[in-house]
Structure 1
Amino acid sequence: MADFDLEALSLGELKKMQKDVAKAISTFEDRQKAEARAKVEALARKLGYSLAELVSTETKFSRAPAAAKYRHPENPALTWSGRGRKPQWFMEAQETGKTVSDLAIS
């Protein structure tokens, strides 16, 4: 590592050095990851594979939309699957005396 005589540097040089050090610190982890990835890719190529073949990153599962279980009494376009927060119309219908079975889709 280089030794610097910080007393001999001007304010502009010190600020530039401070900016360069901050940038080096912020990108350190990214540089380390890139170096590790390059090593792993080289090893995979040496064994006759690509990194993508060895690491299956394509297995994202998404939940299918749930079927509607409840329908608004006056507006059939408003539905609710029963998952998540109750919609306002559902709570208002219950407050007016409707039961869950009254709102259920048959």
Structure 2
Amino acid sequence: MASVNVDKLSLKELVDLEAKVKKALALARDRERSELKKKMADLAETHGFSVAELFGATRGRGPGKNKSVGIAKYANPENKADTWTGRGRKPNWLVDRLKKGSKLGDFEI
């Protein structure tokens, strides 16, 4: 893996790097979670059980709903650390910009 000398990066570069790291962490967690679920299902099956029998059925999640919600989709152009996933209440920085005529698509990551 290539090393990055963070001491020589500008503030903008550091903020961009932080956003990339947060996104990579979220994706890695999702990947690890799905791999662990698969291993647990395989192990339960080898002993004649299902995961639902051992841990109970997962409530509130239908097919296709195991997508992670925590990944940011929108970012403040002035401060890339200010992000929003697109769910829940819009952050103040976004509401202010939308009132001034900007479009939501302008802030997509």
Q: What band does the TM-score fall into relative to the shorter chain?
A: 0.3 to 0.5
* Pair member with larger Rg: 1
Higher RCO structure, 1 or 2 (CA under 8 Å, sep 6+): 2
> TM-score, structure 1 length as denominator?
0.39
The structure in which a higher percent of residues are strand is 2
> TM-score, structure 2 length as denominator?
0.38
